[in-house]
Amino acid sequence: MASRTAFSGMPQFRLDGRVALVTGAGRGLGAATAVALAEAGAEVVLLSRSLEELNIVATRIDASGGRARTVVCDVNDTAHVRLELARLPTLDILVNNAGMNIPEAFVDVCEDHLDQLLRLDVRSAFLVAQSAVRKMLEDPDRQARGASVINISSQMGHVGAVNRTVYCMCKHAIEGLTKAMAVELAPKNIRVNSVAPTFLETPMTASFLASKQFREWVTKMIPLGRLGNTYEVAAAIVFLASPAAALINGTSLLVDGGWTAH
């Protein structure tokens, strides 16, 4: 009889019976993450400002046998966010993904752009996480089942970069928020981690990756020699959300091809 290996009792990577909320789910990394979570068995709540985009993602999930529902909401509208999350019957997973970037030189950053990024990338991320955790704590079985918050950060939350002072500041803030939440919420069996991608081919990066010079610089900075794609990052998110990552808390999973290893 074959001996039992250490892997035969490995925790499941499946998310069956779990409800996951993804912000910024209409396109890019958010859409890819929603699809991946659904493929892993989760019921996915898709949240963004565009019903048209959300319906495309929901249709794709439904067609593959998954379960999705849409919520049209601007994460900057705190009252609306709180209302929509309060309406959810339960919540097990939050992927705090909505964000933006406006690349420009430090001396040229205007107050309007500064306020836009701080409001969406920091303030809204904090308040969405707060509302989600309040919903998680309503569940009397939470302590036994656990929950997971995954804040989408960036490799720029670990390093600095030219023309990205505000974005780097915001993502460093998200890394700090992640660690503080993880310490405070661990006794409630709510794990909090971040995922920090490198440059991906998404609608948000399309404008500056259109520059041949910038694309070549990015590629040279990544030791693997290529940009990432959204599904490679979505796979990391599914892992952190799953029971397989039950002991991972308060860390940042860099999906950067080695950028920050320099």
Residues acting as catalytic residues: 167
Q: CA 200, CA 230: separation in Å to the nearest integer? A: 6
Q: CA neighbours within 13 Å on the CB side: how many for 72? A: 7
For residue 203, give the nearest of 100, 115, 112 by alpha carbon. 100
Q: CA 182, CA 188: separation in Å to the nearest integer? A: 10
For residue 139, which amino acid is it?
A: D
Q: Tell me if 172 sits within 8 A of 157, measured CB to CB.
A: yes
Q: CA 209, CA 161: separation in Å to the nearest integer? A: 15
Q: CA 94, CA 79: separation in Å to the nearest integer? A: 18
Q: Tell me if 125 sits within 8 A of 97, measured CB to CB.
A: no
CB neighbour list of residue 186: distance below 8 Å, 6 or more residues apart: 249, 250
